Structure 1
Amino acid sequence: MKKLIISGPDTHPGANYVVDRVSGARRLLKYSDREICAKNLKVGDIVERHLDNNDIVLFNRQPSLHKVSIMCHRVRVMPGRTFRFNECVCTPYNADFDGDEMNLHVPQTEEARAEASLLMHVKNNLVTPRS
């Protein structure tokens, strides 16, 4: 975690904030002395880091009318500032690459990540009773 803090918000992998466990103060690393923040990091402090490879995320396209409108994916960090996914999942999302808006959600707890991976993972939802 100290390496992520020192990298800061502008270098991947890095971190954006450190939340103090006692006071709840949220320190923006862009304007802080990151070396001191890393040195003062204590057990229980929360480091808000960048997404990294194999993190679990939920991806959906509104309106979410059926269960395959929101599915779990694993992150693979690539160059660029866009979200990309395999064309095989266009049908469940009803996506057609004409400027569709997609939403990305990051589960925050281990329980939420496990539930998303087991119940909502794209590999478990591509084949439906209808197809």
Structure 2
Amino acid sequence: MGAGVAVLKDEAILLIRRRDNSLWDVPGGGLESGETPEAAARRELAEETGLSVGVLRPLAVFQHPHTYPDGNRVDWETHFFTADDSGDEVKAGDDAREARWWLRKALPQNVSDATQHYFTMLGQFMPLSAED
């Protein structure tokens, strides 16, 4: 089980580039033993971007395939949250080699399977591109 959080600022969304596969991703990862999805989302966000946010808004829970760097593929349940930018400085850390803001109308194409699902979920609630 995993958790991810889309941090939003004006017309932008915060994404990280993973060290292991160079794909852009919403900050997030797997739950540790005894951890709630919200706690995992907060922990992963802090580890990967240095950010701490206020309210996490639950957006969706969905199943999707997840492929590990070694090629192992599993079915994964992800709890997806959104949050507003805290205004803190973004610093890539842990398994993120880069963290940056992307305009929602100009999102990268090389994203993880989970982030493709996140974009779909977000698009149901807010425009993600100029065509929406």
Say whether the fold is shared (TM-score over 0.5): no
Higher share in strand: 2
Q: Which has the larger radius of gyration?
A: 1
The alignment's TM-score, normalised by the length of structure 1, stands at 0.30
The alignment's TM-score, normalised by the length of structure 2, stands at 0.30
Q: Which has the higher contact order (CA 8 A, sep 6+)?
A: 2
